[in-house]
């Protein structure tokens, strides 16, 4: 099968207008990587896969939704798109806009966007603006502008974003030949959890594939859906999910409830240690992307989750290279040695 983007691969299952003009970077079809070492830690006879969304063209799952949002915008004659972003949406919007000749305008919270994301948005040629404020402030500004002008909003309030992102659920079912018992993933603005649930429900109706239970995971300092109210000053080292008023919050809570799952929160330390655990199996993800595993470990430790015999998919939403500084801070710097073979040998043998 020739390489396809998500629109070509799943077009009959996408609720998109006729006039949609496909703009693709051949996103999607990301690997579902077996994680036997982690499965052993989680429970007896359980099977674990990582859906590694960091391997999309701009390094995150956002590309699935962006191909559809931009394709729709182009089809209807939009000349510019706008989004607020904690980083990945910005980079993705910028790339797909560049590909289709649209202007991309992105608004980010100053100082809170990881280096690899900001660099991407700039490299793809977006007009990047920053505010002294949060993602939530930025989102309300871009919503207002998109209401006042013909500039198309490409945040996940845009329903076409969800149409694209639900394809990840299709891919998991198609690849496994069944659906997992549990799907674990980070929750920020809550578009992705809503998309997955849509996708699994649709496959259930179409093909009878059973629906998984969903474990959504927020960071403790940014956990509006766990606390039950917006968080004015969200904080977390996982800047991707540093969001206090999720646009799709209601839908996310519904997904958790309908799937007989739940949304929980974990500490930044738990996120960082899950990030290391994934890296120790060769999968380096950005901090937010480790939240799903962190949540799973948290629930198992608290005796609230029995992983024995379960089939579990962990969604890792973004690549580790998006946020290299985190690792530089949490890991020891490489040891400096003199440029002599004896020193290198001694260092390797641990004599010094």
What are residue 318's phi and psi, to 5 degrees? -145, 155
Whichever of 153 and 240 has its CB closer to ligand AN7, that residue is 240
- Least distance in angstroms from the C-beta of 248 to ligand AN7: 7
Select from 28, 188, 249, 261 the one that contacts ligand AN7 (CB under 6 A). 188
Only segment of 124-132, 170-178, 286-294, 336-344 that touches ligand AN7 (CB under 6 A):
286-294
Q: Evaluate whether 247 touches 219 at the Cβ level (below 8 Å).
A: no
**Does the protein bind ligand AN7 through residue 87 (CB under 6 A)?**
yes
- Is 186 an interacting residue with respect to ligand AN7 (CB under 6 A)? yes
Q: With CA atoms as reference, report the closest residue to 245 among 169, 337, 135.
A: 135
Q: Which of 58, 192, 209, 313 binds ligand AN7 (CB under 6 A)?
A: 192
Nearest to 138 by CA among 85, 188, 87: 85
Give yes or no for residue 88 binding ligand AN7 (CB under 6 A).
yes
Contact 46, 72 (CB under 8 A): no
Q: Is 189 in the site for ligand AN7 (CB under 6 A)?
A: yes
The single residue among 81, 95, 219, 240 that binds ligand AN7, judged by CB under 6 A, is 240
CB 129 → ligand AN7: shortest distance, Å?
14
SS3 for the chain is CCCCCHHHHHHHHCCCCCCCCCCCCCCCCCCEEECHHHHHHHCCCCEEEEEEHHHCCCCECHHHHHHHHHHHHHHCCCCEEEEECCCHHHHHHHHHHHHHCCEEEEEEECCCCCHHHHHHHHHCCCEEEEECCCHHHHHHHHHHHHHHCCCEECCCCCHHHHHHHCHHHHHHHHHHCCCCCEEEEECCCCHHHHHHHHHHHHHHHHHCCCCCEEEEEEEHHHCHHHHCCCCCCCCCCCHHHCCCCCCCHHHHHHHHHHCCCEEEEECHHHHHHHHHHHHCCCCCECHHHHHHHHHHHHHHHCCCCCCCCCEEEEEECEEHHHCHHHHHHHCCCCCCCCCCHHHHHHHHHCCC
Q: Smallest gap, in angstroms, from Cβ of residue 333 to ligand AN7?
A: 25
Report in angstroms how near the CB of residue 99 gets to ligand AN7 at its nearest: 18
Task: Provide the minimum distance between the beta carbon of 196 and ligand AN7 in the complex, in angstroms, as a whole number.
Answer: 9
Count residues binding ligand AN7 (CB under 6 A): 23
The piece of 24-32, 80-88, 228-236, 337-345 that touches ligand AN7 (CB under 6 A) is 80-88
State which residue, 211 or 242, has the beta carbon closest to ligand AN7.
Answer: 242
Written as six digits, the tokens of 110 are 């100053």
Is the Cβ of residue 164 or residue 188 nearer to ligand AN7 in the bound state?
188
Which of 109, 116, 318, 320 contacts ligand AN7 by CB under 6 A?
Answer: 318
Report if residue 275 touches ligand AN7, rule: CB under 6 A: no
- Of 288, 294, 297, 307, which lies in the binding site for ligand AN7, with binding defined by CB under 6 A? 288
Exactly one of 35, 42, 183, 190 binds ligand AN7 (CB under 6 A); which one? 190
Q: Does 24 bind ligand AN7 (CB under 6 A)?
A: no
**Of 24, 30, 56, 89, which one interacts with ligand AN7 (CB under 6 A)?**
89
> Widest CA span of the chain, in angstroms?
68
Applying the rule CB under 6 A, the residues between 112 and 171 that interact with ligand AN7 are: 156
User: Interacting stretch for ligand AN7, rule CB under 6 A, among 1-9, 37-45, 85-93, 173-181?
Assistant: 85-93
57 counts as binding ligand AN7 under rule CB under 6 A: no
Residues at the contact surface with ligand AN7, assessed by CB under 6 A: 60, 62, 85-89, 156, 186-193, 240-241, 286, 288-289, 317-318
């Amino acid at each position: 099968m020739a390489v396809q983007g998500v629109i070509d691969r799943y077009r009959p299952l996408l609720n998109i207008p006729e006039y949609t003009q496909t703009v693709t970077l051949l996103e999607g079809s990301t690997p579902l990587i077996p994680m036997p070492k982690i499965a052993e830690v989680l429970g007896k006879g359980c099977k674990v896969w990582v859906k590694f969304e960091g391997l999309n063209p701009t390094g995150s799952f956002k590309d699935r939704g962006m191909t559809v949002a931009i394709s729709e915008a182009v089809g209807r004659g939009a000349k510019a798109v706008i989004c607020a972003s904690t980083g990945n949406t910005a980079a993705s919007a910028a790339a797909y806009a560049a590909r289709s000749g649209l202007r991309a305008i992105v608004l980010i919270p100053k100082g809170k966007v990881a280096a690899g994301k900001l660099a991407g948005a700039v490299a793809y040629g977006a007009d990047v603006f920053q505010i002294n404020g949060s993602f939530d402030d930025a989102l309300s500004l871009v919503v207002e502008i998109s209401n006042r002008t013909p500039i198309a909003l490409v945040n996940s309030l845009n329903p076409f974003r969800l149409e694209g992102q639900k394809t990840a659920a299709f891919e998991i079912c198609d690849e496994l030949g069944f659906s997992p018992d549990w799907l674990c993933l980070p929750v920020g603005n809550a578009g992705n959890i809503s998309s997955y649930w849509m996708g699994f429900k649709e496959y259930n109706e179409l093909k009878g594939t059973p629906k998984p239970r969903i474990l959504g995971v927020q960071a403790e300092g940014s956990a509006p859906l766990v606390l039950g109210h917006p968080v004015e000053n969200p904080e977390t080292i996982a800047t991707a999910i540093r969001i206090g008023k999720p646009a799709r919050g209601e839908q996310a809570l519904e997904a958790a409830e309908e799937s007989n799952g739940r949304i929980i929160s974990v500490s930044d330390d738990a996120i960082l240690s899950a990030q290391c655990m994934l890296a120790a199996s060769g999968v380096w993800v950005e901090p937010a992307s480790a939240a799903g595993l962190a949540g799973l470990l948290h629930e198992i430790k608290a005796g609230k989750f029995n992983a024995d015999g379960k089939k579990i998919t962990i969604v890792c939403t973004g690549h580790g290279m998006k946020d290299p500084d985190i690792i530089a801070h949490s890991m020891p710097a490489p040891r400096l040695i003199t440029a002599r073979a004896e020193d290198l040998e001694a260092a390797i043998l641990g004599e010094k």
